[in-house]
Amino acid sequence: MSSGSLLIGVAAASAYVTLWWFVWFRQRTARWWMTLALLASALAVVLALTAPDSFYPATLAVAGLQTLGAVVFVYAKHRATRGTAAAATGTEASPPQPDIDTLADKLKTAELKIETLEAVKTDFVTIAGHELQTPLAQLRGAIDLLDALHQAQVLDDSQVAELVTTLRAAEERLESLVADMLDASQVALGQFELKLAETTIEAVVREAVEPLTAGIRQRRLSVGVVDLRNLPPIMADQARLAQAVRNVILNAVKFTPDGGKVKISAQTATEASTSSPVLILKVADSGVGVAATDLELIFHPFYRAHSPEVHSSGAVKFMGAGPGFGLHIAKGIVEAHGGAMWAESAGYDPQTCPGTTIYIRLPLTEPRAQVASSSDSSPAV
């Protein structure tokens, strides 16, 4: 073999050695070996052109193709390796960016959410001011009347009793509003403390409905409770869970026209995702319903699905929604018990009254909740 053929072989071999070194070890010095291999190939080409050996052209062609293939393969492998590393580090080769229309839709959605939140804050200020103004007006009127009767020296026992009743009602209303605010803050912080004990959903519903009996009768509503006696017991903080159920029933009462119906029922089921037994409580009403866009928002604090201009401070008056804590607190209590809460409705229509059904799902095993070591605070009504 001539020296030219030897150099061509060395050049091709050097190219392949450099290929594998560069691919597997990615050493910076491999680039210098590639350079030397290319110089050796160039020298072999010069010798092949000047020597009379008839085998040079064929040998030169084979070696040249081998060397060119090695260089192309190394370059392609290097680019692929850089692309993989960039994808892992997130510095290069970013995924395709969304088009302008997609970005515009996302921006519009975000703007609508911001506008909704701004409206919620404004409505809350309006409603909270109204809620606070009513008991304060009662307190002021009772105090003025007490002072006038005292000055006239005509104050008797019956008048004192009436004034005390008015003052107590105003105080209870203020206390309830403050308690709701504190409960809402506990929901936001995830700090609900539960005193768990074995109880039944029947006892919970009974405790929830009892304080609302007078208002339900006043509104001529039919509240039916399906037999709950044969359902299995649950581990729960009965006072807190009754507070949650009461808030749900009260919401149904407020948004159901006079003479309407509220049905309370429960059944056992199996949770699809965990195959665990659960208890599902349903509160269905024949009220004005909820729009599809509001089915999740009604559980947000301060949110009102209807205009605050029709706000009424009555505890059970039709459309007499309060500051917007009830369902938010109820959901927080249920979730603290390891459960879930959601609403279904065919839509909002005050004429046809499609109604709303709110579901409360509770585990039949002991929930993962923080058990209070001290005495449980009394729930807000």
Q: Per-residue pLDDT for 326 more than 80? A: yes
Shared domain check, 261 and 166 = no
What pLDDT is recorded for position 375? 39
Indicate the residue among 159, 189, 219 that finishes a domain.
Answer: 189
What pLDDT is recorded for position 33? 54
Q: What is the mean pLDDT of residues 207-223?
A: 92
Shared domain check, 339 and 259 = yes
What pLDDT is recorded for position 60? 55
Q: Per-residue pLDDT for 201 more than 90? A: yes
Q: Per-residue pLDDT for 255 more than 80? A: yes
Q: What is the largest CA-CA distance in the chain?
A: 141
Shared domain check, 155 and 8 = no
> Using one digit for the tens of pLDDT, what is the confidence trace for 44-94?
555 555 555 554 555 555 555 555 555 555 555 555 555 555 555 554 445
What pLDDT is recorded for position 370? 45
The boundaries of the domain holding residue 113 are 104-189
Q: Per-residue pLDDT for 371 more than 50? A: no
Name the least confident of 81-85, 234-238, 258-262.
81-85
> Using one digit for the tens of pLDDT, what is the confidence trace for 78-89?
555 555 555 555
pTM of the predicted model as reported, rounded to 2 decimal places: 0.57
280: domain CATH number is 3.30.565.10
Indicate the residue among 189, 207, 239 that finishes a domain.
Answer: 189
Q: What percentage of the chain has pLDDT greater than the value 90?
A: 32
CA atoms of 318 and 299, how far apart (whole Å): 19
Instruction: Please list the residues that pair with 371 across neighbouring strands.
Output: 194
Q: Describe the crossing of helices 238-254 and 326-336 by its angle, rounded to 10 degrees.
A: 150
Helices (H) and strands (E) in the chain, counts: 9, 7
Highest mean pLDDT among 28-37, 215-224, 321-330: 215-224
Say if 308 falls within a structural domain: yes
Number of structural domains, the chain? 3
Shared domain check, 165 and 293 = no
Say if 372 falls within a structural domain: no
- Between residues 23 and 291, which one has the greater pLDDT? 291
Say if 94 falls within a structural domain: no
Shared domain check, 182 and 47 = no
What pLDDT is recorded for position 4? 53
Shared domain check, 160 and 124 = yes
- Between residues 113 and 332, which one has the greater pLDDT? 332
Q: Per-residue pLDDT for 380 more than 50? A: no
Residue 360 parent element (H or E): strand 356-363
- Between residues 128 and 152, which one has the greater pLDDT? 152
Q: Per-residue pLDDT for 23 more than 60? A: no
Say if 333 falls within a structural domain: yes
Shared domain check, 278 and 204 = yes
Say if 320 falls within a structural domain: yes
Shared domain check, 356 and 226 = yes
Shared domain check, 278 and 304 = yes
Q: What is the mean pLDDT of residues 246-269?
A: 94
What pLDDT is recorded for position 300? 84
What pLDDT is recorded for position 144? 77
Q: Per-residue pLDDT for 360 more than 90? A: yes
What pLDDT is recorded for position 344? 96
133: domain CATH number is 1.10.287
Shared domain check, 227 and 310 = yes
Shared domain check, 143 and 125 = yes
Say if 38 falls within a structural domain: yes
Confidence tier at 342 by pLDDT (50, 70, 90): very high
Cα dihedral 169/171/172/175 (nearest 10): 160
Say if 201 falls within a structural domain: yes
- Between residues 287 and 156, which one has the greater pLDDT? 287
Say if 31 falls within a structural domain: yes
CA atoms of 25 and 78, how far apart (whole Å): 11
- Asked if 334 and 245 touch (Cβ cutoff 8 Å), the reply is no
Name the least confident of 22-36, 97-111, 186-200.
22-36
What pLDDT is recorded for position 49? 54
DSSP per residue over 266-322, as a string? EEEEE-TTT--EEEEEEEEE-SS---GGGTTGGGSTT--SS-GGG----SS-TT---
Q: What is the mean pLDDT of residues 102-109?
A: 79
What pLDDT is recorded for position 312? 56
Shared domain check, 185 and 243 = no
What pLDDT is recorded for position 307? 60
Indicate the residue among 56, 89, 122 that finishes a domain.
Answer: 89
Tell me whether strands 197-199 and 261-270 are parallel, antiparallel or unpaired: unpaired
What pLDDT is recorded for position 139? 75
Number of Cβ within 10 Å of residue 16's Cβ equals 16
Q: Per-residue pLDDT for 376 more than 50? A: no
C-alpha R_g of the chain: 39
Q: What percentage of the chain has pLDDT greater than the value 70?
A: 60
When the pLDDT of each residue in the chain is averaged and rounded to a whole number, the result is 74
